[in-house]
Structure 1
Amino acid sequence: MKPFAYVKPLDVAEAVAAVGPGTKFLGGGTNLVDLMREGIEHPETVVDITGLPLDEVDELPGGGLRIGALVRNSALAADRRIRAAYPVLSQALLAGASPQLRNMATVGGNLLQRTRCRYFYDQAYACNKREPGAGCDALSGFTRGHAVLGVSESCIATHPSDMCVALAALDATVEVASVRGTRRIPLADFHLLPGDTPQVETALAADELVTAVELPPAPVAANSRYRKVRDRASYAFALVSVAAALDVRDGTVTAARLALGGVATKPWRAREAERILIGGPATEEAFGRAAEAELAPATTRPGNAFKVGLARATIVATLRELTDE
């Protein structure tokens, strides 16, 4: 591991003032430390933010919740307000990693975790995320875990987070701070598609620190589910995941939220499927049509073509479960 400077600030202002070339913020460390050990991340300075007052979940005046960036994944999943008003988020958090990792991992770190693509982690292979312009060996490699939506000729790596899929469905907003002040970024715009610059993964500037995530009031979210399909029952990343919320009145869908994981290069808000669902019948046939419309632009390879059918089936099953309540 390359030597680095270590700073532990006392407040947010001191933390963002410490940012310089090659700075990385350290929260739970469940991703950054691994990447440093592997020689993929090699910061000049590590700013340890674990002492900052960013570990609370607060109710917002107009409804909704403000979740501090240092709230642990396990604590957020157990929060009674999350379990009651946003069950999809609690379920997504509990579907991710292991209990030990959830006890360490933070909300801010989860937002910023990097892909688990094997070609990214193995420096024997070319990877544009790791080394811009090097190429992408995944394109002609083993692609079973790779993306079918939002891909480019530069990158087909899937985004690994479960939490972010739920946040995408909930219209969350990310609060960030720098020496220039505070700004808010809609979660839908926070993660970027790879295009020709897959190494640029988020809309976060180099000197900005994630301080919180805000959830707006969303009555539809009370009837929500997270379904994750994976190779084994625990500690595995999604082949397909679905975060869904549904409101049905007299057999008609009046509100719908849908996001997908395991199939895209970022947490994927299924806007086309939502458009078709709202105002339509709450039937399995209608759910299937909405899923097919969302998945129509999929770009597949021999190893991951099965994800289109699996995603359709998972979307339908999740929505059907929500209508059975």
Structure 2
Amino acid sequence: MMKILICEDEFVSRRKLEKIISSFGYELLIATDGLEAMQLWENERPDLVISDWLMPGLSGVELCRRIRAAEGSHYTYFIMVTAKQQTADIVEAMDAGADDFLTKPFIVEELAVRVRAGQRIRSFHTKDIVIFSLAKLAESRDAETGNHLERIRHYSQLLARQLAADPTADLGISKFFVENIFLTSPLHDIGKVGIPDAVLLKPGRLTEQEREEMKKHARIGYSTLREALIKYPQTDYLQMGAEIALYHHEKYDGTGYPERLAGAEIPLAARIVALADVYDALTSQRAYKAAWPHDQAVEAIVAESGKHFDPLIVRAFVSCADQFALVKSMFA
């Protein structure tokens, strides 16, 4: 469902817009001035903004400029609503980054058409990225199971939410970060599409040489996603996905691979996915081992705090370990 933010300081106009947009069936966010709208946009990342021009604190034009400067890959369609009708005003709004311009008083049908146009354009933007990424993936093959990927995305989201809720962690995790890690964490092992079958599908433990071959999947995954990033350089969720693919086997103490990064040198998203991935590996059956019970896996991860895993993330994991067990049972 498309998420729409309405920014209007005048009560009657705001209620009119709220009533109309609600009748279209979209998810709705309401701001009474530009500063509140900017804060809502940063936390919620709506798909479309409908904003008045003249408002106290922050005008609609300035709101649009700030959104354009900060939006990254999540493009926001912006409709400016105002009584201004001069050509110079329209040029100023468009120059600030507005996609459409609606003059007051407007009729319901006209607003509906403008919103649907914004929805189509947002859809085109998303499809381009998805299609390109899938095209890159289609060049190779994927041996992962869907349930593994579902578990990883839910584990990663749980950890990110727990960290965001912990004021002592002070990691600056936004709701947008939580949404992105849910979206991109399944890309962590995308590089395995480039590993030979003899290694990837071997029904047993790998030799030292085979393990070194398997380790290449981190760089292969990064290279695959980097191709998409070159084409779409502002796609921040692909940037996160590329970092996860490359660094999710790094260890907090610097003994991981491929670059032996340590501590905060490892991107936060990769540190989160590292723990999620190990928990899933421990609690899943493999050809060479049985699945570990949940409690045993928790003990093993806690024992690796400060070594394999970031202590803050281990603490978050312990706080939501019961929810990990629930996800495990849901996607067994």
TM-score w.r.t. the length of structure 1 is 0.31
Structure in which a larger fraction of residues adopt helix: 2
Structure in which a larger fraction of residues adopt strand: 1
- Larger Rg: 1 or 2? 2
TM-score w.r.t. the length of structure 2 is 0.31
